[in-house]
C-alpha cells in the first residue's frame, strides 16, 4: 500500500524470485488511502481462492491502518510470512509449519556454513516480532544460550562483545562497532539502511568489523537473498499442505 520506496524494492525482488522458481504471483498495489475494511475484504477474497497458496502483506502499512488486524485476517495456512499469532505460538513450542523468513534464512545459512550454535553464547540485538524474537527462539531450539538486547539494555556493548554469534537487527546504520564484537565471532547483519552518503549499509560497521570476525554477512547480498529464498520455501510448503501433498 502507498508508495514506500523500500517496499517497492522488496516486492519487486519477491516477484522476480517467484518468476525464477516458476510460481505464479499476483500483486495488489493499493493506494495509500485504501480503508481498513477494503484491505480486509481483499484478504478475505484471497483466503477463499484455491489458486492462491500464500498471502503476504508488505509492511509497513500507511498510518491509520491496523497491521495486526490485517495479519490476523490472513489464513494461518496461507501465512507464508509466519506472522499470524497461531504460527508465532507454534514456533514457541517448536511445532510449526512455517518460520519467519529472515530468522529461518539465517539458520539455513548457519547450517550451510557448518556453524554449530549448540552451547554457544548468542546475542540478538533487536526484539521485533519479525526478526528479533523469533531469531532468539530458533537459536534456543538448537541449544544456544541466547541473550536479547534492546534500547533499554544497560550494558549492551559488554554483552555484545561476549557473543560467539551476534545478530544485529536494530535498524540503525553501522550501530555495531568494532569494540562490540568478540575476536572470531560470527556476525549476522539483518539491517538495511542508508549511510551518511546515501549508500546502502547494514546495522554493522562492516569495514571496521570484518577483519575481527570468523564469518560476517554483507549488506546487500547477505541475509536478504536468504529471506526471499525462505519465502519461496514457505510458499511451496503451503501449497503442499493445502493440497495434501507430502
CA nearest to 107, candidates 228, 240, 226? 226
Percent of the chain residues topping a pLDDT of 70: 100
For residue range 189-232, list pLDDT tens digits in order: 999 888 888 888 999 999 999 999 999 999 999 999 999 999 99
> What domains can be seen in the chain, in order of their start residue?
1-77 (3.40.50.10860), 101-224 (3.40.50.720)
The C-alpha cell that represents 80 in the structure block: 507464508
Q: Reduce the DSSP state of residue 24 to 3 states and report it.
A: coil
- 3 pLDDT band, cuts 50/70/90, is confident
Contact yes or no for 223/192 (Cβ under 8 A):
no
Q: Reduce the DSSP state of residue 8 to 3 states and report it.
A: helix
Positions annotated as catalytic residues are 14, 58, 81
Contacts 24+ apart (CB under 8 A), 11-15: 11/58, 13/224, 13/228, 14/56, 14/228, 14/231
For residue range 122-160, list pLDDT tens digits in order: 999 999 999 999 999 999 999 999 999 999 999 999 999
Amino acid at each position: 500500500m502507498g508508495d514506500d520506496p523500500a517496499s517497492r524494492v522488496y516486492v519487486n525482488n519477491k516477484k522476480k524470485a517467484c518468476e525464477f522458481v516458476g510460481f505464479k504471483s499476483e500483486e495488489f498495489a493499493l493506494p495509500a488511502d485504501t480503508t481498513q475494511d477494503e484491505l480486509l475484504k481483499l484478504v478475505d477474497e484471497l483466503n477463499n481462492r484455491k489458486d492462491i497458496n500464500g498471502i503476504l502483506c508488505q509492511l509497513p502499512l500507511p498510518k491509520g491502518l491496523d497491521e495486526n488486524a490485517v495479519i490476523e485476517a490472513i489464513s494461518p495456512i496461507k501465512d507464508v510470512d509466519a506472522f499470524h499469532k497461531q504460527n508465532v505460538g507454534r514456533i514457541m513450542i517448536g511445532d510449526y509449519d512455517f518460520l519467519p523468513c529472515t530468522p529461518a534464512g539465517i539458520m539455513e545459512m548457519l547450517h550451510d556454513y557448518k556453524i554449530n550454535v549448540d552451547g554457544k553464547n548468542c546475542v540478538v540485538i533487536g526484539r521485533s516480532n519479525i526478526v528479533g524474537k523469533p531469531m532468539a527462539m530458533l537459536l534456543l531450539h538448537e541449544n544456544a544460550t541466547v541473550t536479547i538486547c534492546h534500547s533499554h539494555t544497560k550494558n549492551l556493548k559488554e554483552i555484545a562483545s561476549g557473543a560467539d554469534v551476534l545478530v544485529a537487527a536494530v535498524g540503525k546504520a553501522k550501530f555495531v562497532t568494532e569494540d562490540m564484537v568478540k575476536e572470531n565471532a560470527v556476525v549476522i547483519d539483518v539491517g538495511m539502511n542508508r549511510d551518511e552518503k546515501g549508500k546502502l549499509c547494514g546495522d554493522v560497521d562492516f569495514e571496521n568489523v570484518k577483519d575481527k570476525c570468523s564469518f560476517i554477512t554483507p549488506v546487500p547480498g547477505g541475509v536478504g537473498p536468504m529471506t526471499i529464498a525462505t519465502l519461496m520455501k514457505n510458499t511451496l510448503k503451503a501449497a503442499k499442505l493445502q493440497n495434501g501433498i507430502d
